[in-house]
A = this chain, B = another copy of it.
Amino acid sequence: MVLKTLKVLLVLHMIKRKKIKLVSFSSREIEEKKAEQPVMVKICKITKESPGVKIFFFESDVKFTPGQFVMVWIPLLDEKPFTISYFQDNILGISVLKRGLFTSVLHSKKVGDTIGIRGPYGRGFNIKTNLNVCVVGGGIGMASLTTLVDKLNSVNNKQGLNITIIHGARTAAEILYQKRFRDMKLCTEDGTAGFKGTAVDLFENLIKRQRFDTVYACGPEKMLYKIFELCQRNKTNCEVSLDRYIKCGFGVCGQCDCSGRRICVDGPVFNMEELSEMKDFGKMTVTKTGERVIC
């Protein structure tokens, strides 16, 4: 009750401070109305990053933060989320792992074909400067971290930043971005490249010997949960990017819930404090029907 009164007073205070316009006709503070609709872009280049992963490049003047994603529309088929994994001038790229119908159709697209893009959506990574940073990417999860690494490098250029990149894959052929980040620490489950074992194993080895100021991670949720636990234990700050089935992408449909937080607007990137409050993290996910199931 006291809390409620306090909250009402706070709102009243905000209104007084004109954050909420009241008298005028439109008392919504959001003035600029954006349309959540796909814009068609032409694919201008396609590269093959691994047997299962292609990168699609297109022109767009969309501004985004590393970790944000776009919804990719193939008319009459479906629309699905993909992280922006490449960004230079006005050329953006998405890295697509072929999994089911949608990604297969996307893989069949040629240069000159068009796809729809809406976004960017979500809250990306927090860029910390001047630190010892570790980036851990499991499989295609590495895609979310690429532009983060680029950004960290550009921001911290001459400030003694130290980035350790751990990239895990099942086997050597599935390793991504090897040319882009030449000094990645690799690990494969079958030992065909780098350290034999998972990214978590390698990270655990490293964190025993080395102090990181921030750890950024993206990949399978089980992996993310273990990294989060290791960071908690080592009192190391971390941010992870989560994955849920996405429909609207802008926070209304409730499909992408993780313990009351929406992946699409409150995430996909969450910090430790948030993660520690999210009971479903690492345990429950939500299916396409909206059922909460063990993940």
Chain A interface residues toward B at CB < 8 A = 25-26, 33-35, 37
Contacts and interface: CB of A to CB of B under 8 A. Distances in A.
Contacts of A37: 25
A25 B34 CA distance: 8
Nearest to A36: B25
Contacts of A25: 34-35, 37
A34 B33 CA distance: 14
A94 to B, nearest CB: 21
A37 B26 CA distance: 12
Query: What is the total number of copies of this protein in its complex?
Result: 2
A279 to B, nearest CB: 39
A18 to B, nearest CB: 15
A32 to B, nearest CB: 9
5 contacts: A25-B34, A25-B35, A25-B37, A26-B33, A26-B35
A194 to B, nearest CB: 46
Nearest to A23: B39
A35 B37 CA distance: 25
Nearest to A34: B25
A60 B34 CA distance: 32
Nearest to A31: B32
A33 B31 CA distance: 10
Q: Most chain-B CB neighbours within 10 Å: which of A25, A26, A34, A35?
A: A25
A122 to B, nearest CB: 20
Contacts of A33: 26
A26 B25 CA distance: 21
Q: Which 5 A-B pairs have the closest CB atoms?
A: A25-B35, A25-B37, A25-B34, A26-B35, A26-B33
A161 B127 CA distance: 64
Contacts of A34: 25
A35 B34 CA distance: 19
Contacts of A35: 25-26
